[in-house]
């Protein structure tokens, strides 16, 4: 059932590009088949010669560079080639150079990565369907973070730097906003901008990736009457914490709703400045306000939540508040993206290279999540309980065997990989709290407040 997607058994001494493509990273080829990459190339008009480093090999190489723990393009290239030599030792003299690998990465257009990202997001969303909904609404989370990169003038001009007590930082930072399915943590889309771009402005292009009726959950960065009006205009429902500037005591509860002091419906006025900037915004937005005691790292705190789910009977307040707690899953997703998949400090030296590398990291998240969803369906387990790190280890461990085994063995090997992922279940930890602090002190070295190149020039004498 999967043999046509994963690969076929080698016969004799095939052409080098065919042989290399046959054994490269086969554990993910069921999720991202060669035909999908070829179709993306055709749709974006990317033409290429039949050389050793085909678009299929280059895409898999960049995905492996994200998934492999050494955080290196060179390590990914060496791993691909060494796996290839294990199957075809007679072709050992044809190793591509690191320069040719870099040129192959540069040849792939950004439009190709966007097409592949959309393909993987759609596939992950389809696999997520059995778990994605709450009371008829698909639960979607939104949050933002920052990613760093190499310190080059081009990147600094493109993305900007942050400022703090130590002055302007000596490395560029980019701001990243992502939307993900709350019950499976598959990424639906992302937006990358300058460090000084607001998260709200980066979210707006992503609203088109969502479906009518989706329930968007975000923190106070995504709260405000003008934003609520934009969500509703896009056909979305929303749930956020109350903005810190909202004066709830001044709101007048509306008659006709089952109201209490802790759960009532009111109209919020849209800021006049926002309406002048966007005349399509309405004068008011109707919202439901819910007050609840929530357990945080600082103990139990009383918080207000705002939502467009006005019917208290259909959407009980306790369930709505509990639903907001799923937003914290984004902290784990960012840990996986930035630490497990090496997106914390991107390695590329150009703005185009940074965007492609981040696109590969996001695609790698959805590749792993899609395989985890297949394992969850096969093992009848909640996908949010499966270990992302355990799935990553299994994908890397099974890949060489899936690339070198006879075709008739491949379905059983792939099913064994899914079983290994489905049985690696993390403990159920409701309302888990962790401090944002480190226990072990870092090395006793002073902070370097300039670049290493500038320091070497200064102390060269």
Average pLDDT over residues 328-355: 90
pLDDT digits (tens, 9 = 90+) for 305-319: 999 999 999 999 999
Mean pLDDT over 194-203 rounds to: 95
How many angstroms separate the CA atoms of 209 and 362, rounded? 15
Strand 137-149 relative to strand 345-346, pairing: parallel
Please report the pLDDT score of residue 19 as a whole number. Answer: 73
- Per-residue model confidence (pLDDT) at position 143: 96
* Backbone φ and ψ of 31, nearest 5°: -85, -40
Q: What is the pLDDT of residues 256-291, one digit of tens each?
A: 887 788 999 999 999 999 999 999 999 999 999 999
Q: Kindly tell me if the per-residue pLDDT of 37 is higher than 70.
A: yes
pLDDT above 70 for 7: no
Q: What pLDDT score was predicted for residue 442?
A: 67
pLDDT band at 54 (very low <50, low <70, confident <90, very high): confident
Side-chain-side CA neighbours of 407 within 13 Å: the count stands at 12
Return the structure tokens found at 397: 């461990």
| The pLDDT of residue 101 | 87
Q: What is the mean pLDDT of residues 340-365?
A: 93
Percentage of residues of the chain with pLDDT beyond 90? 61
Confidence of residue 116 (pLDDT cuts 50, 70, 90): very high
Intra-chain end-to-end CA distance of the chain, in Å = 67
β-pair type (299-307, 133-134): unpaired
* pLDDT interval class at 16 (50, 70, 90): low
pLDDT, position 175? 96
| Average pLDDT score over residue span 166-180 | 84
């Amino acid at each position: 059932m999967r043999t046509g997607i994963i690969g076929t058994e080698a016969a004799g001494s095939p052409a080098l590009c065919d042989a290399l493509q046959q054994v490269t990273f086969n554990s993910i080829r069921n999720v991202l088949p060669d035909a999908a990459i070829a179709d993306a190339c055709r749709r974006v008009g990317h033409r290429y010669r039949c050389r050793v480093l085909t678009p299929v090999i280059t895409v898999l190489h960049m995905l492996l560079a994200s998934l492999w723990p050494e955080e290196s393009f060179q390590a990914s290239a060496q791993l691909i080639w060494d796996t290839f030599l294990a199957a075809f030792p007679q072709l050992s003299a044809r190793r591509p150079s690191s320069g040719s690998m870099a040129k192959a990465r540069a040849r792939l257009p950004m439009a190709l990565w966007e097409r592949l990202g959309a393909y993987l997001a759609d596939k992950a969303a389809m696999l997520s369907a059995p778990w994605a909904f709450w009371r008829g609404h698909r639960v979607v989370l939104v949050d933002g973070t920052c990613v760093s990169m190499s310190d080059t003038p081009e990147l600094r001009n493109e993305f900007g730097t942050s400022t703090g007590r130590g002055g302007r930082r000596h490395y560029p930072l980019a701001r990243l906003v992502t939307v993900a399915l709350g019950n499976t943590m598959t990424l639906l889309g992302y937006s990358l901008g300058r460090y000084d771009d607001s998260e709200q402005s980066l979210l707006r292009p992503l609203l088109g990736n969502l479906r009518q009726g989706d329930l968007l959950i975000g923190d106070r960065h995504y709260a405000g009457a003008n934003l609520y009006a934009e969500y509703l205009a896009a056909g979305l429902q929303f749930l956020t914490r109350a903005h810190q500037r909202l004066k709830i005591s001044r709101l007048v509860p509306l008659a006709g709703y089952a109201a209490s002091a802790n759960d009532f419906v009111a109209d919020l006025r849209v800021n006049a400045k926002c309406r002048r900037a966007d005349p399509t915004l309405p004068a008011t937005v109707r919202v439901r306000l819910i007050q609840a005691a929530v357990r945080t790292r600082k103990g139990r705190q009383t918080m207000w939540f705002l939502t467009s789910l006005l019917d208290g009977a259909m959407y009980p307040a306790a369930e709505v508040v509990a639903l907001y707690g799923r937003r914290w899953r984004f902290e784990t997703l960012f840990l996986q993206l930035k630490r497990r998949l090496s997106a914390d400090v991107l390695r590329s030296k150009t703005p185009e290279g940074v965007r492609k590398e981040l696109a590969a990291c996001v695609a790698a998240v959805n590749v792993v999540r899609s395989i985890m969803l297949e394992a969850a369906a096969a093992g009848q387990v909640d996908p949010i309980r499966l270990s992302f790190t355990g799935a990553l280890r299994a994908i890397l461990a099974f890949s060489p065997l899936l690339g070198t085994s006879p075709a008739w063995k491949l379905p059983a090997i792939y099913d064994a990989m899914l079983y290994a992922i489905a049985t690696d279940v993390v403990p159920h930890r409701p309302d888990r709290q962790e401090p944002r602090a480190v226990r072990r002190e870092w090395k006793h070295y002073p902070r370097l407040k300039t670049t290493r190149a500038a320091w070497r020039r200064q102390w060269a004498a």
